[in-house]
């Protein structure tokens, strides 16, 4: 994945003034403190207007994970474990087995052809339902969804949770490939079966390196930094946990982020977790 090389107009030190900056400076910073959802929307609106060459996608997290004193946003496949390093070989083998199991379980459904023919579709379903690690990272085009996710496990956080703004190329169709920037984007609402409601409620997208790194041998041709999605980071905000949601704004309820899905397709997908 190529880093954004041009200068950006973003918030570096405070939420009052846009300044010229770079992705690496944003990654190294601690994040701009934001005290309310309304203020967050105002800041993102200014960033969107001042950087018209990008589509903005968002991600909310309880913690800011850093390596070499910079924010990292790795897909689950490439995240370090506390012991034993990557365990990449085992992860790729598990992903392959999970893909095969998904095709088998859905072979008698109306989605069997699309599932069997598209590896990216299989990865999208596996990633979004957290069945096992994949080379894709979850994002959303909804600021409310991303901010709500940041607060879902906030008991584990400190005084702040984090909201990341990523700048990506213009999106066209269900899958967008930008080969000269080594980016692939998937619009989940266009590839997931309609009975799987989560992608639609969450307005979800997936981002990954292009071409897809679908084997351990291919991954070893890439440096670790090349699969870090924070290379597209154009703003980082620290959201105050106390009194952030006020002035009539409320976080999305967990039932909206994880809607109940009472159907056989979702049951089949979720059943794969028991083998992981």
Residue 13's pLDDT is 77
* Tally of CB atoms within 10 A around 209: 22
Domain membership of residue 71 (yes or no) is yes
Residue 82's pLDDT is 43
Residue 275's pLDDT is 65
Domain membership of residue 139 (yes or no) is yes
Q: What is the CA radius of gyration of the chain?
A: 19
Residue 154's pLDDT is 58
Domain membership of residue 143 (yes or no) is yes
Sign of the C-alpha dihedral, residues 246, 248, 203, 254? Answer: positive
Domain membership of residue 251 (yes or no) is yes
Domain count of the fold of the chain: 1
Domain membership of residue 3 (yes or no) is no
* Tally of CB atoms within 10 A around 272: 19
Domain membership of residue 1 (yes or no) is no
Both tokens of 166, joined, read: 């990523």
Domain membership of residue 2 (yes or no) is no
CA 52 to centroid of chain Cα atoms = 21
Query: How, if at all, do strands 32-34 and 233-240 pair?
Result: parallel
Phi, psi of 202 (to 5 degrees): -85, -5
Q: Give average pLDDT by consecutive 10-residue segment, the chain, 276 residues.
A: 93 86 95 96 97 96 94 91 62 92 89 87 90 95 96 75 96 89 92 87 93 74 85 97 94 90 86 74
Residue 156's pLDDT is 63
Q: Is 261 exposed, middle or buried (0-12, 13-18, 19+ CB in 10 A)?
A: middle
Residue 104 domain boundaries = 8-275
Residue 109's pLDDT is 86
Residue 108's pLDDT is 85
Domain membership of residue 171 (yes or no) is yes
Residue 235's pLDDT is 97
Q: Are 62 and 154 spatial neighbours (Cβ–Cβ below 8 Å)? A: yes
pTM attached to this predicted model: 0.92
């Amino acid at each position: 994945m190529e880093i954004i090389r041009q200068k950006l107009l973003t918030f570096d030190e405070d939420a009052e003034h846009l300044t010229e900056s770079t992705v690496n400076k944003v990654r190294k910073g601690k994040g701009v403190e934001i005290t309310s959802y309304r203020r967050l929307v105002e800041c993102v609106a200014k960033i969107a207007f001042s950087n018209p060459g990008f589509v903005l996608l968002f991600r909310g997290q309880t913690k800011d994970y850093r390596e070499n004193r910079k924010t990292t946003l790795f897909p689950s496949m490439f995240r370090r474990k506390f012991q034993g390093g990557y365990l990449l070989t085992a992860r790729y083998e598990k992903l392959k087995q999970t893909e095969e199991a998904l095709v088998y379980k859905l072979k008698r459904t109306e989605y069997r052809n699309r599932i069997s023919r598209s590896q990216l579709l299989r990865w999208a379903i596996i990633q979004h339902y957290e069945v096992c690690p994949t080379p894709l990272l979850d994002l959303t085009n909804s600021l409310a969804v991303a901010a709500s996710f940041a607060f879902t496990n906030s008991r584990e956080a400190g005084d702040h949770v984090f909201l990341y703004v990523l700048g990506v190329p213009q999106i066209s169709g269900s899958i967008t490939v930008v080969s000269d920037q080594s980016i692939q984007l998937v619009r989940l609402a266009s590839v997931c079966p309609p009975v799987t409601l989560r992608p639609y409620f969450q307005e979800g997208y997936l981002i990954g390196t292009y071409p897809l790194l679908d084997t351990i041998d291919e991954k070893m041709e890439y440096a670790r930094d090349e699969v870090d999605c924070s290379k597209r980071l154009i703003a980082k905000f620290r959201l105050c946990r106390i009194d952030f949601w006020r002035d009539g704004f409320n976080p999305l309820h967990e039932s909206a982020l994880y809607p109940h899905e009472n159907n056989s397709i979702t049951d089949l997908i979720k059943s794969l977790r028991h083998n992981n």
